[in-house]
Structure 1
């Protein structure tokens, strides 16, 4: 099935939802635990939603998993119509400028509150290059680990770009085989290589989004798509046992949330005539900056308000407002401009229509 003319509105809606879920996990549930505070809202959600449904990390992993599915889908879509140069330039200018801005805000907040020393050079290099090489210091932003995964998936996409346009099944199998190789040898990767190897393994979750793209665009039949998804599932489980052999999969499984996310993703993908509510449209636009900055700005705002605002729910709203404002500034000051620069730099880098595998009137994501 190839859609005639759309912008994947359901996928855009999920991007906003994913950002809010991660924000709730960090500023709501997990910050409450760190403070030793109580919240009727958090306790109710845990009692009636996350624990009965075995949703781990208070929707934190759920939101991240949604982001991975969305990225796998959208990135596979982008490589259908962009040259490798255009793809690389656009991804770099999409990821790095907001990351640099968030790093600067992190330093300023830490210096202003005098609760965070300047990180060592190794931490700067690891975070700001997205190399993901571990150092013996706390994480810089705290959420950059998912970007380590994203950048590795982008590299895989670049390597198999021609096959993704012409032979999608073979492209998937080559990527999957490489990830299996990494998983098999991950314990042999000592020291600084171990964490990047894990980041590479987690790219298997983005491959679920890629498989969804193949099915949705009619690049593979339903039977083939289901077969690829089953292979990917086996790789996920294999990776869990190989990389985290002591994980209690019965009570702490990423796979459970993955199934929920896939059901939500496919449901949203096939919704027709969807109009995204204005608040979700807003959070969709600022989702990347919000992901980077919600903890950097929101958590300090909540802690500063704690002596004056005893109600935890109100402090959460303060953190939400502060993080959202910072993300809105980053979006308009950095993201919009860097995306515009990327479009200008790559204006002549679109693939000829004969080499694209898109519906004739399809619009970009």
Structure 2
């Protein structure tokens, strides 16, 4: 594990902590509920599973944070800089996850993936080509990548002055389209199933930047919240059909979504701050590899179920995936990003000169 380093002044320690907690919620959702119930891997946790089955909302919190962070980081960048920053952020840990998942599927022998599937997955564009995900958690990266493409259009079209009207248009589309699954071009492009969360994050940036009347942005945020609640109703219906379990508590999920909005408002607008400490940045660095690699916990949850105390086994699986996430960040993600960034920048610069 790398030593803790000072947190950059422009980094939100509170968002790092939120992202880590959201990633941990997804891990616990899978370890205590999805894996035992769907994949029949590991021991069952009736109480914890009943609590962490609500961890699916953590992905929506990720989307809200991305809406703010990606736009804030993109605002001063040219398109090539933005592309390099996003590629170096998203791909190194993802490539590692693809490789480990591919090997793991062949070792287990059940549902082994083909080389063709691996190659499509390495692009992160597999869903657009109708190819299955190697790993179930990759579905959210399709939405993240689509969102980055939309932000790239803002940069390329020099539309930052129209940022707020564009968001209002996206809200209107989300209202009319409804929380549809991706089935056609516009649904893939504007992701109405989860767009309310991305829009909310972007609206927090607009509110923070004070480029528009605060009352207008607040009204748009309330509209985004209403659409997020509508999307969650559809999400709960899909979850019930998938798990064949008791319905999720709509009042509780609505309360959690409202809490997400309030917490981000307090952090980004009211400037609530955690005491400065490098540990927040370190937790934030674990978030993405933890999300991508936590499926490896099945390697201990499955074989050792029934041989060890269930809660001891759960703690061991959590420790394993946290250590793996730290090692992946320190040994793969960080060094590869540092090498990939300059190489991509040089490649784009060469291509630009060639076509001028």
TM-score band, normalised by shorter chain: 0.7 to 0.9
Task: Map Cα deviations across residues 77-112 of structure 1 (whole Å, 9 max, x no partner).
Answer: 011111111111211222122212101101222222
Counterpart Cα distance in 2 of 1:298 and 1:84: 38
Counterpart Cα distance in 1 of 2:209 and 2:77: 17
Task: Map Cα deviations across residues 199-226 of structure 1 (whole Å, 9 max, x no partner).
Answer: 4542331111111111123233431221
Q: Which residue of 2 aligns with 1:286?
A: 286
Distance verdict in 2 for CA 1:140–1:221, change over 3 Å: same
Q: Which residue of 2 aligns with 1:156?
A: 150
Secondary structure in structure 2 of the residue aligned to 1:286: helix
Match of 1:19 among 20, 23, 32: 23
Q: Which runs of 5+ in 1 are unaligned?
A: 51-56, 350-365
Counterpart Cα distance in 1 of 2:42 and 2:314: 14
Counterpart Cα distance in 2 of 1:293 and 1:320: 11
Q: Which runs of 5+ in 2 are unaligned?
A: 1-8, 241-246, 349-356
Distance verdict in 2 for CA 1:188–1:203, change over 3 Å: closer
Distance verdict in 2 for CA 1:113–1:131, change over 3 Å: closer
Q: Which has the higher helix share?
A: 2
Verify the 8 A CA contact 1:132 1:196 in the aligned structure 2.
no
Verify the 8 A CA contact 1:298 1:322 in the aligned structure 2.
yes
Q: How far apart are 1:241 and its partner, in Å?
A: 7.6
Q: How far apart are 1:142 and its partner, in Å?
A: 0.9
- Decide which moves more: 90-99 or 170-179: 170-179
Aligned pair 1:209/2:201, yes or no?
Answer: yes
Counterpart Cα distance in 2 of 1:342 and 1:171: 32
Distance verdict in 2 for CA 1:198–1:299, change over 3 Å: farther
Q: Which residue of 2 aligns with 1:93?
A: 88
Matches within 5 A, 1:114-263: 114-119=109-114, 121=116, 125=120, 128-133=123-128, 139-161=133-155, 165-179=160-174, 183=177, 189=183, 196=188, 199=191, 201-236=193-228, 251-252=249-250, 255-263=254-262
Verify the 8 A CA contact 2:98 2:118 in the aligned structure 1.
no
Q: Which residue of 1 aligns with 2:353?
A: none
Verify the 8 A CA contact 1:68 1:206 in the aligned structure 2.
yes
Counterpart Cα distance in 2 of 1:313 and 1:219: 50
Distance verdict in 2 for CA 1:197–1:171, change over 3 Å: closer
Q: Which residue of 2 aligns with 1:111?
A: 106
Q: Which residue of 1 aligns with 2:56?
A: 61
Of structures 1 and 2, the one scoring higher in RCO (CA 8 A, sep 6+) is 1
Counterpart Cα distance in 2 of 1:329 and 1:312: 26
Verify the 8 A CA contact 2:229 2:257 in the aligned structure 1.
no
Aligned pair 1:102/2:103, yes or no?
Answer: no
Task: Please give the TM-score of this superposition, normalised by the length of structure 2.
Answer: 0.77
Q: How far apart are 1:23 and its partner, in Å?
A: 1.2
Q: How far apart are 1:197 and its partner, in Å?
A: 6.4
Task: Please give the TM-score of this superposition, normalised by the length of structure 1.
Answer: 0.75
Q: How far apart are 1:121 and its partner, in Å?
A: 3.0
Counterpart Cα distance in 1 of 2:98 and 2:22: 22
Q: How far apart are 1:141 and its partner, in Å?
A: 0.8
Q: How far apart are 1:331 and its partner, in Å?
A: 1.1
Verify the 8 A CA contact 1:152 1:203 in the aligned structure 2.
no
Task: Map Cα deviations across residues 310-359 of structure 1 (whole Å, 9 max, x no partner).
Answer: x1111112211221222222212332124323553559x9xxxxxxxxxx
Counterpart Cα distance in 2 of 1:199 and 1:115: 32
Counterpart Cα distance in 1 of 2:125 and 2:220: 29
Secondary structure in structure 1 of the residue aligned to 2:127: coil
How many residue pairs get matched?
A: 326
